[in-house]
Amino acid sequence: MPLGTLDRSAPSFFRQGPSALSQLVLYSALALFLMVADARFRVTDPLRKAVATVLYPAQWLMLKPVELAGHGAGYFQSLQTARQETDQARKQLALMSQRANQGDQLAQENDRLRQLLGLRERLQVPAQVAQILYDTADPYSRRVVVDQGQNAGVVLGSPVLDGAGILGQVTRVYPFVSEITLLIDREQTIPVLNLRTGARGVAYGDPVASHGGGMELRFVSANADVQEGDLLTTSGLDGVYPPGLPVARVVRVERRADSAFARIYCDPVAAIQSARHVMLLQPVAGQLPQKPEPVAAEPVIRKKGRK
């Protein structure tokens, strides 16, 4: 073959296309364009739905063994828990039966004393049930929102309690929901009565307690008769909470020589962190009879004497 007829061009295998930098810029721009288009116009939603539909059977099959294992472990655990709860319920039933017999006797004696002393019956406070929807977004407060509001008759300052005791107080009322400030909030205070000694005091919220939030009984003298395990109930002196409702239990008492007051830490009786359904009461002040208006004194007319 003549030398001049040879093809001097490089084979296709050695042909070089665009440079690596050009390809990087091109594909980066394409990726950025696709991300913006997907974020603004949802162009890849049909593709996502198609892929999810195709992969769903495989995901379902892969998750079934995990679900079966979880259900099996949960079944045996719930069986053991049910047995423990049954034994505990039997013990509580026997204890409650004993207390019920004593309570009936005390109630009869109380009725006789009230009849003798002519005291009025305990206030019957209207109540309504509500469900806790969610916690508020404020990290510096301890508040929850319930599904009852102004349309349901909820008023500002209504006491809130669960099956165990006082939970908090309604501090904001909206048309359809209400906001409840829990007892462990730093701005919440409640007058209490030591059920064992009869001493009155004021309990304050303590959200930074080491046990995840509690209460503190303040301004109690260092030599006061307060012990661990004492039950604190509402005193009813504030015109908000009905008297005799459980509030908290004393868990630690610190007496210091350099302070005239004791540090008394309490745990709320109510399920502050896990309550789902609560009861809203009308404030006691709204059930009390109105105070009579003061009668204006008649002016004294002095008679002028003779000159």
Within a domain: 202: yes
- Residue 108, CB-side half-sphere exposure with 13 Å CA sphere: 5
Same domain, 133 and 277: yes
What mean pLDDT comes out for the span 39-58?
Answer: 81
Give the chain's domain count: 2
User: What pLDDT digit, counting tens, does each position of 271-298 carry?
Assistant: 888 888 898 988 877 555 555 566 555 5
The whole-angstrom separation of Cα 113 and Cα 96 is 25
Greater confidence (172 vs 111) lies with: 172
Within a domain: 292: no
Same domain, 186 and 267: yes
Q: Mean pLDDT for the chain?
A: 81
Same domain, 140 and 224: yes
In this prediction, residue 167 has a pLDDT band, given cuts at 50, 70 and 90, of very high
Same domain, 102 and 135: no
Range from 93-97, 123-127, 203-207, 247-251 carrying the lowest mean pLDDT: 123-127
Last residue in a domain, options 121, 155, 190: 121
Within a domain: 205: yes
The whole-angstrom separation of Cα 32 and Cα 208 is 47
State which amino acid sits at residue 217: L
184 has a pLDDT exceeding 60: yes
Please report the beta strands in the chain, taking only residues with DSSP state E, as ranges in sequence order. 127-135, 143-146, 159-161, 166-173, 178-182, 189-194, 200-206, 214-221, 231-234, 246-254, 261-268, 277-281
Greater confidence (43 vs 205) lies with: 205
- How much is the pLDDT for 307? 45
In the chain, pLDDT over 70 holds for what percent of residues? 82
Within a domain: 207: yes
| Domain span holding position 249 | 127-286
- Dihedral angle, C-alpha 44, 49, 51, 54, nearest 10 °: -160
- How much is the pLDDT for 177? 92
User: What pLDDT digit, counting tens, does each position of 226-270 carry?
Assistant: 999 999 999 988 888 988 899 999 999 999 888 889 999 999 999
Same domain, 192 and 115: no
Same domain, 247 and 184: yes
Same domain, 39 and 160: no
Same domain, 139 and 257: yes
- How much is the pLDDT for 191? 94
Within a domain: 13: no
- How much is the pLDDT for 81? 87
Same domain, 116 and 192: no
1 has a pLDDT exceeding 60: no
What are 193's strand-pairing partners? Answer: 200, 233
Range from 71-75, 281-285, 300-304 carrying the lowest mean pLDDT: 300-304
Same domain, 198 and 243: yes
Range from 55-64, 159-168, 169-178, 244-253 carrying the lowest mean pLDDT: 55-64
For 146-207, give the DSSP string: ES--GGGT--TT-EEE-SSSEEEEEEEE-SS-EEEEETTSTT-EEEEEETTT--EEEEEEET
Same domain, 207 and 135: yes
Within a domain: 302: no
Last residue in a domain, options 73, 97, 121: 121
What mean pLDDT comes out for the span 110-126?
Answer: 60
Which structure tokens are listed for 94? 């026997």
Within a domain: 301: no
CATH of the domain at 280: 2.40.10.340
Within a domain: 15: no
Greater confidence (76 vs 205) lies with: 205
Same domain, 273 and 157: yes
